[in-house]
Amino acid sequence: MSSERLAPLIVLAGPSGAGKTTIVDRLLATTTLPIRRAITATTRPPRPAEIDGVDYYFWTRGEFEDRIAAGAMLEHAIVHGRDYYGTPLSEVRPAREAGTAVILVIDVQGADQVRKACPDGLVSVFLRPPEFDDLAARLRCRGESEETIRRRLESAVRESARIGEFQYELVNADVGTATRELERIIGSRFPPTGSASCSSN
């Protein structure tokens, strides 16, 4: 397929607990648009219900650094001051070339790298909760430790200062409404206009 017909690349960022994963899961379960979520990689340990290769690729630090050195990552960042997270190029390029839009659920540092590496066909969306007080409650429901919650709330404040770097701001007051709005945004970017390939970071 010619590079003019690369399908859109959607970057969905926003603080932990804003509901990014819930909304993307709902979108993928209900949409008729050709779209898939990239499985990204992390060095953090899996949570009890998480499966390697489904929720994330769970890599050791050494494995992650080898992939970075090999130029196999579209973007990568240390998130919440602790673990590596990143997107393998193999999760993005082949699908976009085949006409399937790819959605990345990543942090603001990663979003910044993707914006620079492949600006064409990029749809960037920042998802935020209606009230920041909701975040701590949502993280507590997940059973996170107080230390983890503290780190994530600090990241949320830092991340939210960068909303202006995104093309769209989406407020998650209601999952159904936010999901439909995200679908409308993505749908408006079909047929794709992307023309550039992505470089590794």
Number of C-beta neighbours around residue 34 at 10 A: 12
Per-residue exposure over 38-59, b if at least 16 CB sit within 10 Å of its own CB, e if not: bebbbbeeeeeeeeeeeebbbb
- CB 184, min distance to ligand 5GP, A: 22
Sole binder of ligand 5GP in the list 24, 64, 87, 122 (CB under 6 A): 87
Cβ atoms 148, 157 nearer than 8 A? no
Q: Contacts with ligand 5GP in 40-69 (CB under 6 A)?
A: 40, 44
| 86 lines the binding site for ligand 5GP (CB under 6 A) | yes
Q: How far is the CB of 87 from ligand 5GP (least distance, A)?
A: 4
Task: Give the one residue of 90, 100, 109, 160 binding ligand 5GP; rule: CB under 6 A.
Answer: 109
Locate 2 and state its tokens.
């010619």
Q: Could you say whether residue 79 binds ligand 5GP (CB under 6 A)?
A: yes
Q: Does 106 bind ligand 5GP (CB under 6 A)?
A: yes
Report phi then psi at 131, rounded to 5.
Answer: -130, 140
Asked whether the beta carbons of 42 and 61 are under 8 A apart, the reply is: no
**Interacting residue with ligand 5GP among 9, 92, 105, 127 (CB under 6 A):** 105
Instruction: Identify whether the C-beta of residue 1 lies closer than 8 Å to the C-beta of residue 94.
Output: no
Provide, rounded to whole angstroms, the least separation between the CB of residue 164 and ligand 5GP. Answer: 18
88 belongs to the binding site for ligand 5GP (CB under 6 A): no
Residue with the CB atom nearest ligand 5GP in the bound state: 110
